[in-house]
Structures are given as structure tokens and as C-alpha cells.
A and B are shown apart, each in its own frame.
Chain A
Amino acid sequence: MLSRLVVKKPFVRSVCAHSSSPYQFNRHHHHHHTLDRFLETGIILDQYIIYSSFIESKRVAELTTLENGMKVVSLSGGFTGPAAALGIFVNTGSRFESQTNAGSNQVLKNLAFQSNESKIYLQVQREIAEIGSTAFAQISRDNLLISSEVLPPFSKQMLTSLSNITNPKLAYHEVRDCTEQTIEESESLEHCPVTQVFESLHKQAYRGRTLGRPLVAPVCNLGSLATEQVVDVANSAFTPSNLTLVGVGLNHKDLVKEAQQLKFGKTNGGAANKGESAKYVGGDEITYVTGNNHIVLAFEGVSYKNTKDVAASAVLKAILGGGSIQPKTAPGNGKTSRLFTLLEKNQSSLVKTDSININYQDTGLFGVYAESTETSQVGQVIANLANEFATVAKSAVSAQELDRAKNIAKTTVLEQTDSRSGALEFVGKQALYNNAKVLTPEEFVQEINSVTAEDIKRVASKMLQSRPTLIVRGNIQDVPTLDQVQSLTKFF
């Protein structure tokens, strides 16, 4: 019977494929050698379920720019499981907003799965649900991401849905409802200290311009935000040259071909959102609140453009690390890092520490974050944080520490891109930021491999030369001035 089977190589039978099948069926006694119910259809299905046509392949990143200006980037090969990821990065976000249309991109995010020029909202949502896909929209300071996961047979359908989504209808009542929803979201974030601290960090670092515009939609402006303003933002955002289509686990050529046959964006042409380039300024902000203190001390980091420095900053982040006492940090998440060691030494005052490394297209932020107890000495905490950072720049890291940090940085990238959605963001961002070459995670790991102790010192020192940004929420009694902070970190 088996000889009838036409199968591709490799075909290997699992050792225990049905020797101990738990699915006990008594209806088919004649299949005495197995209890599996698939034998009802003969041996063929039984072979099918353990048949494997998987072959090893390396991950490959490919980028194509279509005639209309839309970029198509994909990561194929490797192993993505029996599913694929499809997403669209839109070159829009709060960095392009003005005083009058602040918050409009948050509204645009909430409008993603509402009606578009081809389908009404119910169809949009049901079409995605029907094929079992999951999708979400997420807005950042410089991009709107609409991301989905899909089974490969439905990838074309999902692609069509995505193309429709890039041409939203923006009916008055939908904009109104989504603005209401945005107000609720903003209000719920009002009491989230981490969000507030990161808002302040950007606001001060870029002095209210570009990346310093509010990401959390300002409620005071949402009330007067007119539908026309949202339509204007959508019109300039959804042009093909602002779009980057990303596929993970799909054939690049097929994806390009399918994308060419569909209409993406509200217009056929149109310019890309340019905006002014971000200029790091630095500054401080102190806010009185009760409860634990939240503290950020940051400097200008590295931009996405310089791959070598991005790799060095990733290693620097691993050296500083971070962690928390409760929930307990497990080995592999920074237990041996400098900031965790600081936390362990100061358990009575520190609750949580972390290092911050954000890379934007034209700038970046790098720093340290701490949550300390209400009774802790904020000035001392800041001095400790500044000292940890300055030490990395002052004295070379040991070979052992560097090796460890490089290994951690490597596994962090590989772990993130091990999932389909993580891989999608990894390649998508590079294309969005106009990187000349899109690196695979493995290629980026090679960049990490070549980071030296000298690179760490160079990158860290350069960061410390910028004016600090200091944010404190909590006890503001003994916060040092920026000059004082600078004297703590300056050593050249």
C-alpha cells in the first residue's frame, strides 16, 4: 500500500507518530495497527499528517521600489511556520503634525479598520476575521503600522484588504467616533507614568519640534479637530511614496507582482512626507506627583542610518541592561548587567531599572530609566544612574563583559525576529528609513560581532557630549540642575 505513495524527499516517518495515539476510536476495528481516526480515509491521510517537505534555507531580505514609489520589502526563507505576516508602514506620525492638527494621526490609526473607498467597516473587519487573520494598527512618532498575520493561501486576499485600507473613506461620523475613542485612549494614558515620562523625554529632547511633538493625542485639541483636518493628513500620508509594504514568509517576486496589480494609497502619485529633520536639544522637566518616582536621564543616541553605530548602541544597551525585583528578572534578561547590579545594591530605593535605546531615521535617544520608591533620595538615584553611564564611557569594558553583551544583543535581535511580527518590523523599519540595503537579522548579528570595546567607548562618549535630558516625575525636592548632571557625566 505504501508504494502507491508519491512523495517528495525528504520523507521520514516519526518514531512515535502513532504508536501511542490518544485518539481512541472503536468504530474501525479492522485497522488493528493504529487507533488513529484518519485511517478511516485509508493510509494516505495518515502518511500526509506526518509528511514533511521542509528544507533548510537562509533568510533573505529583498527590496523593490515600484513605479508609483511604493516600496516592497520582504524577508523570506528560514522557517516562519505555516503562516505569513503582511504589513504596511506609512510614513506619517506625530513628527509631521502642527499646532492645529496635533493628535490627527492617532485618529487616523483608529480609523484603519473603518470604511474605505471599496468596503464598509463591517466588510473590512469581517473579511479579515473570515480568513482567520489577525491585524492591528499602531501609531508611532514617525510611522503608522498596519500589521497582520495570515495563512499563506489567503495572503492575496489579505493584501487586497491592506490595499483597501490605504484608501480610507473618512466619513464624518466615523472620524467623529474615532476622535471620541482617541480622547478615551488619551485620558486612560494620563495616569500611566511610563507613557508620561517618555512623552516628556521626547518633548524636552527635541524641544517641542518634530519628534518632540506629542504622541499621545492632546485632548484639548481633539475637541476642535475637524474632519477636514484628518482628511488632509490622510491625503498627504496615503500616497504610494509614503508606503512600505512588508512581507515575511512570502515569495518576494510574487508579492511585488501582486502589489503591482492593486491600488495602494489615495492617489497614484504624490510626494513623500518630508518634514524638517529632527534636531536634538536636550533639557529637563520635573513634575510633582505622589507615589513612586520615575526618572529618565538620556542623551542624543544614534540614528538608524549608521548600521555600525546601531550595532554598537545595541551592545551598549546590553551592558547597561536593567531589571526588576518583582516580577523577578530571570537569567538572560539582564541579571548580570550594570543597572541590575545597581538595583540589587539599592533594593531599598530602586524598584526597576532599564536602559533606553531608540533609533530614529535622523537621530536617536539613549539613556537610563529608573523607578524608585517614594521615600528614596531622587538626587542620589540620578547621581547613581549618571555614574553608571559615565563609567562605560570612561573606562574600557572588559573582554568578558563585552563578549557577554554582544551575545545578549545577538540573541535579543534573533529572538525578536524569531516571531513573524517581530521580523516584519525589523525589515520594514529599515526600508521605511530609506536604508540603502535592508539587512537580514543574521546580517545585523554579523555587525554586532564586529563591535569592539573601542566602538563602545566612542559611541558612549559621543552620547555624553550632548546636552542631557532629565525627566523626573515624583518627588521633585532634590533634583539636580542640568549643569550639575553634566558635571557628573563629563570627563573629557
Chain B
Amino acid sequence: MSNISKLLSCTQKLGVRSYSSEAVKLFANRDFLVQNPETKITTLPNGIRVATEQSFGETASIGVWVDSGSVYENEKNNGVAHFLEHMIFKGTEKRPSPNFIETEVENMGGNLNAFTSREHSAYYMKVLKENIPNAVDILSDILQNSKFDQKLIDDERHTILSEMQYIQSQENELVFDQLHATAFQGSPLGRTILGPVENINSITRNDIKKFMEDNYTGQRLVIAASGAVNHEQLVQQVKEKFGSIKAGDAAPRQLITNEFVGSELRVRDDSIPLVHFAVAVKGLSWSSPDYFVLELIQTMIGNWSRSIAAGRNVSSNLGEVVATEGLAESYSTFFSCYNDTGLFGNFGVAQPGRVDDLVCEMLKEWQRIANACTDAEVQRAKQSLIASSLMQYDGTSKICESIGRQVLTLGRRITPAELYLRIAEISVSDVRRVARELLVDVSPAVTAIGSVENFPDYNFVRGWSYWNRL
């Protein structure tokens, strides 16, 4: 018997609660869970956290994660976090032009990219192991010494506007922007990441610099790395290159409240042949103790699309109904987390004539899970969630991304073993409890675009969120 099995059987002897024995039931051999590199985290004097997982090999992914996104903007400068992310690549004193940076990155065969979300910005590189010091230098340079050339700012407005045009041609992106706009109306989360056209046209060099000074401070930075990276060496390099960033304060999260508002926003456009919609409830924040239970519920409700091989044989109950009745082109279950709130619900694409049945079936499934889900289906979903969560550890880029996000949102890293145990301990009663708290008798946020004429009235949807006992 392996040491780990011994450890777990020990805990059983201690007569403790059932989840460890549930865990034992699921896998006979759990050694693979701990054959994962250790996460090392060091906090520098200025608050920057350096988090690494050394898995060796020939390449490394390294990135800077910033606790800063559109949620820290106001109405006037909405869009500046994203604008800033674009301008970071446009040149520093040492690297005078965009072309200079691009050539330097490509000369070493690396790549450099970035994204901005509602709560985070990230800048990350993938390089051969001998180029790690160079990567740290590039990241530190662009994040501290960017020139923000006025002419390049003006040129970039055009690029961002065409990015906006692209996003607005994607119905699923539009639905989620609309969903945030209605569910978090009047709150910072309700605004879009790109910001309104007026702001994109008017944001100044000073706006960008000010936003960076206020938000890109030591306490709000995480430098994450995975692959052929040595922790102590990286800490040393980061100390040298990022040491002069001032500590500042932690992100002003307590100042931001994002109230969830049950509401509806529909945009009728009959030139779009289908209905694209989302029905959401207030979900959970990153640090909620029920985080994994809700992830499990997400797995149970599942996803389906016309192109999946399993067709009507999918393991989710809703998927089977949708496939058999031909209710949708596709549907998915989403769970977006934020620092103080979250969104949970279903996204769907359907023919106008089927959409009311589809929405009804979705909410019926929520009620079924809250009131009548079975042990067998919970166990099956657990197995599938454990597997899909563990399979996320696939390649240094994905791992680096997940280290950065977790350290930023939770202040620590969740190991495969913890992930496994947290999911394995969930019971049917946990699932029903969380589903009842979140999915039963609630006023959801509803949004739809396209041929929405036949989309059910808000009060119908609200009414489907509970079952009457007769």
C-alpha cells in the first residue's frame, strides 16, 4: 500500500466524516495526484507575489497577472484598462518601437500576449528556458517604462474600434455583455471591457498613465511561472527588475459592490434567424466554500450542441431532453466568478419557435436538481468534474494561467490533490442545498438577441423558478 493510501486509511480509522471514504471509493490509486510539482510562493517586500511550479523541460511560461480590470474604472474612463493593455506593447525608452519589441520576442522564438477581463489584466510569454531572464526583462520594461506615445495612442483607437466591431458581430459575446449590463446595472461589473465608443475616442495619455499608477502596484501583482523555471532564480530576477514598483494598497475591493438585479434586456433583430439568450442567477464568488458544489451543478446541467458525437446519449439529463425534442442548436451552462459575486446560468441558441420550451426545460432542470437529483447522477458528475478539472493541467501555458489566476483571486494555489478531495467530498445534500439557495424561487437576469418575438415573458421565466407542492 502506498504512503498516500496509508494516509487516507488512517483518516478513516480516526472515524472522521465520510468524504475521505468517498474519496477512497472513487480511486484505488491516488499517487498520481501528488506527482505534481510543488507550488512555491514568495512575497517580495513591495508586495509582489512570485508563484512557480517547476516541471522542467525545455520551455517556460511566465506572466504578470494584475488585479486590475474594467471593474476598477468609472463611467468616464471605462475602457482604459483595455486601452492600457494595448499600449503596453508600443515601446519603452530601451525598446523604442512596437517593431523593436516584436523582433526581440521573435528572435528568441518566444511569444508574448495579453488579455484584459473585468477583474484582471495579464501579460504572458512563452520562451525557451535559456531566455527566461530576457522574458522577465521585457515584461518588467513594458510594465514600468512604456512611453505611451501620443501618436500611437491615436492610431490604436482605430484598432480597438475594429476589435469592437468584431466582438459585436459575435452573438455569444454580445449576449454576455448584455447579461452583465442588465444583471449588474448601475454597478462596475455592468460595464463592458472595451468601453463605449466615446471613451475609446477620448481616452488620453494621462488617463492611461493615471490608471496604471493607481492600479499596477506591488500588492496587486502576481508573477506566475511554470515549466523550466527555478523559483529562487526567478525571485532574484523579479527582485532586480520589479523591485522598484511601489507597494501601494491592495485592490480596493471593499469599495466596489456589484448588486445583482433580476431583470430583462432583449434586443429584437429579425435579420438574425435564431435566438441567442442567457438566463442567469447570482452565482458565487471565487472564494465561496460552495465553489466546487456549483461547479458540480454546472457539470450536471451540462452542455450540448448539434455537432457532438454522443447526440442524444449525452450523460446530462437536460442534454438528452434537448437532443430528443430538438429544442436547441446548442446550449451551455456557465459559471463566471468575481471577487464579490458571480453569474450562473444557461446560454442557448435556438429556433424562435422552440425557444420557450427550451427555457422552460432549463429552469425545470434547475428545479429537478434542487429537489430530486439522485446519488447516482451526483457520483457520475463528480467523476466527470474531477477528470475535467485535473485534465486542465495540460502544458505550461495553461498551468501558468491557472497559477496566476488562483493566487490573484484566492491568495494561494489549489493542488490537484485538493481539487480532487474537495470534489470527492460533495454529497447529494450539498448539491440540493446549494441548488435551493441559488436556483429556486429567484428573479433571474434574462437577456436575448435575434428573433426574440417568441421568447417567453419575464414573469413566465420567473414562474418556472419554483415548483408548487400540491
Residues of chain A having any CB pair with chain B under 8 Å: 5-8, 10, 12, 14-25, 37-38, 40-42, 44-45, 47-54, 56-57, 59, 78-83, 110, 113, 121-122, 125-126, 129-134, 136-137, 149-153, 326-328, 330-336, 400, 403-404, 406-411, 414-415, 418-420, 442, 445
Query: Do A407 and B36 touch (CB < 8 A)?
Result: no
- CB of B393 within 8 Å of the partner chain: yes
- Asked whether any CB of chain A lies closer than 8 Å to the CB of B350, the reply is no
Contact B128 A53 (CB under 8 A): no
Q: How many A-B residue pairs have CB under 8 A?
A: 256
With a CB–CB cut-off of 8 A, which chain B residues contact A57?
Answer: 56
Residue of A nearest to B37 (CB): A54
Q: List 26 A-B contacts (CB under 8 A).
A: A12-B40, A14-B413, A15-B40, A17-B412, A41-B19, A49-B417, A49-B421, A50-B39, A50-B418, A51-B34, A79-B37, A81-B390, A81-B399, A125-B313, A126-B315, A130-B315, A133-B387, A149-B391, A151-B391, A153-B29, A330-B112, A331-B102, A407-B128, A410-B58, A411-B128, A418-B396
User: Of all chain B residues, which has the CB nearest A318?
Assistant: B109
Given A22-B411, A78-B55, A79-B37, list of 4 further CB < 8 A pairs?
A50-B38, A136-B309, A331-B111, A407-B106
B126 touches A131 (CB 8 A): no
* A78–B56 touching, CB < 8 Å: yes
A408 to B38, CA, bound (A): 30
Pick from B7-15, B258-266, B451-459 the stretch touching chain A.
B7-15
Task: Please measure, in the bound complex, the distance between the C-alpha atom of A129 and the C-alpha atom of B310, giving whole angstroms.
Answer: 10
Q: Which residues of B contact A25 (CB under 8 A)?
A: 289
| CB-CB under 8 A for A82 and B421, given A14-B41, A131-B383, A410-B128 | no
Whether the pair B102, A404 counts as a contact (CB closer than 8 A) is no
Q: Are the CB atoms of A129 and B315 closer together than 8 Å?
A: yes
Q: Contact: B56 with A82, CB < 8 Å?
A: no
Residues of chain A within 8 A (CB-CB) of B412 are 14, 16-22
The residues of B that contact A54 with a CB separation of less than 8 Å are 34-38, 55
Q: Enumerate the 5 nearest inter-chain pairs by beta-carbon distance, A residue then B residue, closest first.
A: A332-B111, A132-B387, A407-B109, A22-B287, A81-B393
* Residues A82 and B10 in contact, CB atoms below 8 Å apart: no
Q: In the complex, which residue of chain A has the Cβ closest to the Cβ of B3?
A: A6
Q: Are B166 and A326 in contact (CB under 8 A)?
A: yes
Residues of A within 8 A of B162 (CB): 326
Question: A387 vs B412: C-alpha distance in the bound complex, in angstroms?
Answer: 54
B159 at the interface (CB under 8 A from A): yes
Contact, CB under 8 Å: B59 / A113:
no
Q: How far is the CB of B317 from chain A (nearest CB, A)?
A: 13
User: Which listed residue (A22, A110, A326, A332) contacts B113, Cβ 8 A?
Assistant: A332
- The reply to whether A327 and B166 contact each other, CB–CB distance below 8 Å, is yes
Chain B residues near A78 (CB-CB < 8 A) = 55-57
Say whether, besides A79-B55, A411-B127, A333 and B111 are in contact (CB < 8 Å): yes
Q: How distant is the Cα of A25 from the Cα of B422 in the complex, in angstroms?
A: 14
B-side contacts of A48, CB under 8 Å: 4, 7-8, 34, 417, 421
B384 touches A328 (CB 8 A): no
Q: Is B417's CB under 8 angstroms from A410's CB? A: no
On chain A, the residues within 8 Å of B109 by CB distance are 332, 404, 406-411
Q: With A12-B38, A38-B421, A45-B11 as given contacts, are A414 and B59 in contact (CB-CB < 8 Å)?
A: yes
- In the assembly, what is the distance between CA of A37 and CA of B11, in Å? 14
- B310 near A125 with CB under 8 A, answer yes
B255 in the interface (beta carbon within 8 A): no
State the CA gap A7–B38 with chains docked (Å): 14
A41 and B106 contact, CB distance less than 8 A = no
- The CB with the most chain A CB atoms within 10 A, among B58, B106, B380, is that of B106
Q: Which residue of B lies closest to A423 (CB)?
A: B395
Name the CB-closest residue of A to B14.
Answer: A42
* Residues of chain B with a CB closer than 8 A to A409's CB: 109
Are A332 and B112 neighbours in the complex by a CB distance under 8 Å? yes
Say yes or no: B17 contacts A41, CB within 8 Å: yes
Cβ contacts under 8 Å, B421 to chain A: 38, 45, 48-49
Partner of B3, one of A7, A19, A40: A7
- B300: shortest Cβ distance to chain A, in Å? 13
B3 lies within 8 A of A8 (CB):
yes
CB distance from B200 to the nearest CB of A (A): 16
Q: How far is the CB of B403 from chain A (nearest CB, A)?
A: 11
Residue of A nearest to B414 (CB): A49
Q: Assuming the A-B contacts A22-B287, A404-B109, are A82 and B35 also in contact, with contact meaning beta carbons closer than 8 angstroms in the complex? A: yes
A409–B109 alpha-carbon span in the complex (Å): 8
Asked if A41 meets B40 with Cβ closer than 8 Å, knowing A129-B384, A332-B110, A410-B109, the reply is: no
Known contacts A22-B411, A40-B17, A332-B106: does B310 contact A79 (CB below 8 Å)?
no
Chain B residue nearest to A45 in the complex (CB):
B11
Closest A residue to B19 by beta carbon equals A41
A50 to B53 alpha-carbon distance, docked (Å)? 12
Contacts of B40 in A (CB 8 A): 12, 14-15
**Are B413 and A418 closer than 8 Å at their CB atoms?**
no
Q: Which residues of A contact B286 (CB under 8 A)?
A: 22
- Tell me which residues from 1 to 30 in chain B have a Cβ below 8 Å from any Cβ of chain A: 3-4, 6-8, 10-11, 14, 16-17, 19-20, 27-30
For residue B391, which residues in chain A have a CB less than 8 angstroms away from its CB? 81, 83, 134, 149, 151
In the bound complex, CA of A415 to CA of B407 (Å):
24
Q: Which of A22, A404, A407 has the most CB of B within 10 A?
A: A22
Is the pair A331, B101 in contact by a Cβ cutoff of 8 Å?
yes
Q: Is B152 at the interface (CB under 8 A from chain A)?
A: no
Residues on A with C-beta less than 8 A from B394 are 80-81, 83, 419-420
Could you tell me the distance in whole angstroms from the C-beta of B399 to the nearest C-beta in chain A? 8
Q: Please tell me if the beta carbons of B102 and A52 are within 8 angstroms of each other in the complex.
A: no
Q: How many whole Å from A8's CB to the nearest CB in chain B? A: 6
- For residue B288, give the distance in angstroms from its CB to the closest CB of chain A: 8
Q: Provide the residues of chain A in CB contact with B29, threshold 8 Å.
A: 152-153
Question: Is the C-beta of B198 less than 8 angstroms from some C-beta in chain A?
Answer: no
What CA separation (Å) do A54 and B101 show in the bound complex?
36
CA distance A478 to B421 in the complex (A): 66
Q: How far is the CA of A332 from the CA of B101 in the complex (A)?
A: 10
